[in-house]
Amino acid sequence: MRLSSLLLSTALCLGATAALAQAPQDVFRIGVLGDHSGPYADFSGPGAVVAAKLAVEDFGGTVLGKRIEILSADHQNKADTASNKARQWIDVDGVHAIADMTNSAAALSVQALTKERGIVALASGPATTRLTNEDCSPTGFHWVMDTYSQSIGSARAVVQEGGKNWFLVTADYAFGHQMAADLRKEITANGGKIVGEVRHPTNANDFSSYLLQAQSSGAQIVGLANGGSDTINSVKQAAEFGITDAGQKLVGLVLMISDVHAMGLSNAKGLIATTAYYWDRDDGSRAFAKRYEQTMKRMPTQVHAGIYSSVLHYLKAVQAAGTDKGTVVAEKMRELPVNDFFAHDAKIRADGRVVHDMYLVEVKRPEDSKGPWDYYKVLRTIPAEQAVIPLSESKCYMVKG
């Protein structure tokens, strides 16, 4: 028994060594891990890979004398699938950083692994604040949005304008739970209240029972604490029930421009949301969108823009640090300001959160849109400091010491 165990252990070690040897020494690899087939595929998926490749192209294609290569995979919105793929990338393929990670549970599992291995994690798609709070990492970064930025921006504005009573339609997993908790805190702090809440499974097709409960609650605001196809289906079915026509207002807490495109302006008109990026905001955002559209035949979401920004900033830090060692590169990333079309002079805090402005937007009515993808009216800029959890409230060990 002991001999067979020793032989098996030796075989496994030799196999791992042989696999590691397969990773080419003249290639610098970054993995883009996201949802390619589920409810978040439109704002992750192939578009995330294109955004990362555009960042590599703009950086020059090489770093530390090595050709940069982008690997991609579908985590299928499963935490174990995500961590297994990340482990293979790190141990076998020699990946130096992992980007995107749309889906909070998947992102948390990957960040736990990258923290252990000293690999940089660049989260753009997930929204849970745990990535920079309870589960923060010296090599983990949260780039685009989180449940705090999405709930605070929209909720504060709506409550201050008289939307006091809310009913929540919440995705039943880590992201949705955290979003609902942040909403409850912000709404009650500003004199409003949550009159009811229902939770639904991810990738649901029928929201009728949830929406009928929201309609009968008498709430002024129906907050959609979900994302992707769940948000799309919620809004479409809300239109069928005449919820907004009857006077209730929908607030999409994680709304992507791809969602609005799928819904159509007739269904989505009047939706309020917070976004980190809108393609038609300025010359820089339009220039990136035009290049992205040439490949994808559609406009990028805030997640795609954030993936570009995170990969580009990471490569700048690798070059400046003169090493691919994750812990050293992570410190350099915090030293350098983030400057690109996505964020201007943004800073990265000790907890890994990228602090940048956000934008409160309203979906246009069909008659106000000038053409395809002209969907948002920017209502106001939310200053960077107001869009992130104050460090005084942080639960990150690197902040608390």
Give residue for tokens 């915090």.
Answer: 334
In a domain, residue 32? The reply is: yes
Structure tokens at 171: 């995705």
The span from the CA of 225 to the CA of 202, in Å, is: 11
Query: Residue 152 class from Cβ within 10 Å (0-12 exposed, 13-18 middle, 19+ buried)?
Result: buried
The CA distance from 332 to 314, in Å, is 9
The answer as to whether 399 is a domain residue is no
Q: Is 135 within the bounds of a domain?
A: yes
Q: Is the domain of 381 the same as that of 269?
A: yes
365 shares a domain with 247: yes
CA distance 337 to 221: 38
Domain harbouring 381, CATH code: 3.40.50.2300
Residues 298 and 309 in one domain: yes
Residues 162 and 269 in one domain: yes
pLDDT of the chain along its 401 residues, tens only?
444 444 444 444 444 444 444 567 899 999 999 999 988 899 999 999 999 999 999 999 999 999 999 999 999 999 999 999 999 999 999 999 999 999 999 999 999 999 999 999 999 999 999 999 999 999 999 999 998 998 887 888 789 889 999 999 999 988 889 889 889 988 999 899 999 999 999 888 899 999 999 999 999 999 999 988 899 999 999 999 999 889 899 999 889 999 999 999 999 998 989 999 999 999 999 999 999 999 999 999 999 999 999 999 999 999 999 999 999 999 999 999 999 999 999 999 999 999 999 999 999 999 999 999 999 999 989 999 989 999 999 999 999 76
3 assigned to some structural domain: no
Q: Both 165 and 131 in a single domain?
A: no
The answer to whether the CB of 385 falls within 8 A of the CB of 146 is no
Selection from 286, 317, 298, 333 nearest residue 143 by Cα: 333
Task: Output the pTM of the full model.
Answer: 0.88
Q: What is the pLDDT of residues 248-285, one digit of tens each?
A: 999 998 899 999 999 999 999 989 899 999 999 999 99
Beta strands per DSSP E along 51-200: 62-63, 66-74, 95-100, 120-123, 140-142, 165-171, 193-200
Residue 331 located in a structural domain: yes
What would the two tokens of residue 272 be? 């309020």
Do 275 and 207 fall within a single domain? yes
Q: Is residue 1 part of a domain?
A: no
Two tokens, residue 132: 């920079």
**Residue range of the domain that includes 308:** 24-145+283-356
User: DSSP 3-state assignment of 379?
Assistant: strand
Mapping DSSP onto H, E and C, the string for 258-294 reads: HHHHHHCHHHHCCCEEEECCCCCCCHHHHHHHHHHHH
Q: What is the DSSP letter of 353?
A: B
Inside any domain, residue 85: yes
Which amino acid is residue 178, in one-letter code? Q
- Do 33 and 122 belong together in one domain? yes
CA distance 84 to 93: 13
Residues 29 and 130 in one domain: yes
Query: Each residue of 229-257: pLDDT tens digit?
Result: 899 999 999 999 999 889 899 999 889 99
- 257 and 323 both lie in a single domain: no
Longest dimension (CA), the chain: 77
> Does residue 13 form part of some domain?
no
How many domains are contained in the chain? 2
Q: Within this chain, do residues 374 and 314 fall inside the same structural domain, yes or no?
A: no
Q: Are 378 and 341 contained in the same domain?
A: no
* Identity of the amino acid at 152: I
Domain co-membership, 79 together with 217: no
